[in-house]
Amino acid sequence: MRAGTLKASFTVTPITPVIGAEIGNIDLSVTPDEATSAALREALVRHKVLVFRDQDISPAAHVAVARRFGELEIHPVFPRHPEHPELVLLGGSEQNKARENIYHSDVSWREVPSMASMLRCVECPVAGGDTLWVNMAHAYAQLPQEMKSRIDGLYAAHDIMPAFGTRMTPQQREENRQRFPVAVHPVVRTHPESGEKILYVNEAFTTHLVNFGEKAEVRVGFDFRVAELELLQYLFRQAAIPEYQMRLRWRPNTIAFWDNRATQHYAIQDYFPAVRRMMRATIIGDKPI
């Protein structure tokens, strides 16, 4: 898909040269029509993260807007809105810190991970609580050619348990292990709309490389495991490079809409014991290839 091919009434202002754009002249309390939705989707694929300010919309409107882009998932662990289960309720409390301060791609542990997420700020501290997003297509493009050759054809395991297992009872862990077995995805996935190559491993959910031994030269056993872990750590660290990132300072009624196929994000936990409350709708995507 070529960027910029659809006419739209909203404005698009890039946030950084590589990721993010602020969208103006749009009211998301009114569900966008087909043409506007298509133009927003095109902007999403191009910029990876879209930011909308001053969107005082209801939970029902939030769900309706997100649904314009696909079917919505029901998260198995996070608390959900009592009237709209498609909306998860994110944020800690004055007693407990939020725990999203790790680079990750949402629900990569699903066999079919999400296409995108739409997050609205309900309440946030006066200072702190920013979120970082990373362009993982750019991260892949900037890898040395030797590294691209090393990871070509590798597959990684993604598991719900490292991040969410501690929030479950033993019975819930057993039930969710049956519902969500370990998913295997390519280390480098291809974006289904842009055709971009994307580095698709993250430190929250990726546990190991399932076929590392097919390409590695192993002298003795510990070479195999140590080399695999070193390679994964190198790939994880790509998300932390500032030149690949944008940073969003939240205000109430700010909405961030990001392409979960091509990004990772990190919610900065620097505001505890202040509280930040968010609502998120997540759009089901496609199986990574």
The token duo for 233 is 């750590």
Is 33 in the active site? no
Is 189 in the active site? no
The whole-angstrom separation of Cα 284 and Cα 286 is 7
Determine contact, residues 280/88, Cβ cutoff 8 Å: yes
Closest CA to 113 of 60, 166, 156, 172: 156
Catalytic-labelled residue, pool 158, 189, 261, 265: 265
- Taken in order 215, 217, 223, 227, is the CA torsion positive or negative? negative
| Residue partners of 241: CB distance under 8 A and separation at least 6 | 134, 139
Catalytic-labelled residue, pool 46, 104, 158, 261: 104
Q: Which helix (H) or strand (E) holds 13?
A: strand 11-14
Determine contact, residues 15/246, Cβ cutoff 8 Å: yes
Is 265 in the active site? yes
Cα of 91 vs its chain's centroid, Å: 16
The token duo for 21 is 């754009």
Cα of 94 vs its chain's centroid, Å: 26
Is 84 in the active site? no
| Residue partners of 60: CB distance under 8 A and separation at least 6 | 83, 84
Catalytic-labelled residue, pool 62, 75, 106, 158: 106
The whole-angstrom separation of Cα 278 and Cα 265 is 15
Between strands 21-24 and 49-52, the pairing is parallel
The token duo for 107 is 């629900």
Task: List residues with catalytic annotation.
Answer: 104, 106, 265, 280
